[in-house]
Structure 1
């Protein structure tokens, strides 16, 4: 027997037990405020936290089944001509698209507010030249979709709203997005769940839903930079994540979902804060060490380049840092001899050498270590 399509209730949902959530609301907001304090102390968060953004793209895509790691993506970008199999290339393209969509969102939010039209723009970027490119990128679906273990709707675990209900459900979702609420994190948890349950696209709904978390935090003024990475927690707790969402659709158990999501915010804020602080400490250490090691006027440019992408080719390093090739080659030799960077692949002929800045990769991938 086929499950009936989910019928989204108007937002905010009835039955939120505000009193029961007060302790978790308080601790999640405190953790987020501490994280935002660390963000504000970072002189150039877009540059220094760039590897964390790529890792968020890796983990959000992994929830959907990709296998590529942060190292796979950075190695590919350092040497895009290297031969890899089609499945690995498809994984990497999805991750790069996710990161590009987040960059586009941050740029767009400087001049416009978050709405369904902007979300459609992000979806178009997400599916460009990837496995979902034939699934109507940027278009709200006009067919019935479902989530299941096979291609038969009769076996579906979850059936989203019928296509004729989707535009109205999204209008209600957007109206709630722009309303005032007693607590923004509870509002965010409701918006996140409802978006994924509406499942407005033919593909990519989970990734867009996770991308919305930092964007809504930023738009609502909870964080000064739209850099909050939720996917590590959701990947670690994937069965519970799906169970809590299904409980909303089947039993209207919003309180179970809200409690789960507030815990996710709190724990991930702590983890993100530790990583951001570790990156900032490493950056400060390199600002002392690299000038001593290289004795170069280009030391700061070199540091910024290796923090932007901790696996890189020599030619990429010259481009990112704008350091003349001769000076850049000497700096790379000095950094390698001092064990700050390591040679991954020696260049031959016109092929550039590939290097890694291992301490930054270790911090970024901390959840896997």
Structure 2
């Protein structure tokens, strides 16, 4: 466990440092939480595509229900991140995160009868505690454990706290996604990450049976060691994957910048390039607002990038979108490779 904790801490520190050195870290703050949202929702059988998520990331009115629910995960992560900076990870924050995910007020379970079943066999594998007062008391203990100053490694504490939260199962729905958001926020509160950019859910998808087996092992046999090592290995792998994608984004951005300046005859300034990488799908009005240029100028720049093969031009209704396909392809490959490595 000590070896796994050391390796995970080193990898996480590298991820945080790599993100800090990226010229425009907004691309990570936008993209990685969105991929995390997709993967975390997929664990709950809510399936959408990366294209749909990026296309609707700043306007989900026309999105399908699965895409809307996945985008709410990203919203919940952002709200939780803001709350962590102000108050740290708390029971109240968990309620707010779950409320944002489900888009309705989520309070502690009241009705009895909640059971966790094996989806393959239908057999009951776990019965979480019942009664609002009992659940509230256990969440208070969970919160106290998170903030205890006892010298425990923060990553070991995260693994134990994640089991505790999932075992309490405080809400009627959304517990898994809420717990996975809390994982990242605990790292932020501990000062191990400056931004919520750890992409851990893909590791869980790739090792889904081991994930649930590990949780059940703690419940049935108090096998904490296997569970904690499993999650520590996930943090190490997800951190290594994150460092790799940051390097790839940096290389792509530098190459894209050179080609874009040629295509626009020097018109593509740093702000335009920032827009192209902060979100893969860009609207003309976004360039107008961010770059302080007229609509004809913004249109001319974007069309020049389309002609040069740097962007793809597509329409959603009456709205014209310009897609940084090279960036989306990079992120999709990263997402797929992270799953395969699991």
TM-score (norm 2): 0.89
Deviations 1:322-350 (A, max 9, x none): 542111111111111111111234x7xx8
Contact preservation (8 Å) 1:56, 1:231 = yes
Confirm whether residue 360 of structure 1 aligns to residue 327 of structure 2.
Answer: yes
Contact preservation (8 Å) 2:4, 2:229 = yes
Tell me how far 1:355 sits from its aligned partner.
2.8
Distance in 1 (CA, whole Å) between partners of 2:60 and 2:96 is 26
Tell me how far 1:120 sits from its aligned partner.
1.2
Distance in 2 (CA, whole Å) between partners of 1:222 and 1:80 is 32
Per the alignment, residue 71 of structure 1 pairs with: 51
- Computed over aligned residues only, the root mean square deviation of the Cα atoms, in angstroms, reads 2.4
Aligned counterparts, 1:24-173, within 5 A: 24-77=4-57, 89-128=64-103, 133=104, 137-144=105-112, 145-148=114-117, 155-163=123-131, 164-173=133-142
Aligned counterparts, 1:1-369, within 5 A: 21-77=1-57, 89-128=64-103, 133=104, 137-144=105-112, 145-148=114-117, 155-163=123-131, 164-180=133-149, 181-295=151-265, 297=267, 299-319=269-289, 322-345=292-315, 351-365=318-332, 366-368=334-336
Structure 1 segments unaligned to the other structure (5+ residues): 1-20
Distance in 2 (CA, whole Å) between partners of 1:332 and 1:107 is 34
Distance in 2 (CA, whole Å) between partners of 1:317 and 1:71 is 21
Contact preservation (8 Å) 1:63, 1:235 = yes
Per the alignment, residue 5 of structure 1 pairs with: none
Q: Residue 322 of structure 2 aligns to a residue in which SS?
A: strand
Q: Residue 93 of structure 2 aligns to a residue in which SS?
A: helix
Q: Residue 44 of structure 1 aligns to a residue in which SS?
A: coil
Distance in 2 (CA, whole Å) between partners of 1:241 and 1:247 is 10
Tell me how far 1:98 sits from its aligned partner.
0.5
Distance in 2 (CA, whole Å) between partners of 1:40 and 1:260 is 27
Distance in 2 (CA, whole Å) between partners of 1:322 and 1:106 is 30
| Matched pairs, number | 332
Q: Residue 89 of structure 2 aligns to a residue in which SS?
A: coil
Tell me how far 1:175 sits from its aligned partner.
0.5
Tell me how far 1:148 sits from its aligned partner.
2.1
Distance in 1 (CA, whole Å) between partners of 2:81 and 2:91 is 15
Contact preservation (8 Å) 1:53, 1:227 = yes
Q: Residue 140 of structure 1 aligns to a residue in which SS?
A: coil
TM-score (norm 1): 0.83
Tell me how far 1:319 sits from its aligned partner.
4.9
Distance in 2 (CA, whole Å) between partners of 1:322 and 1:101 is 31
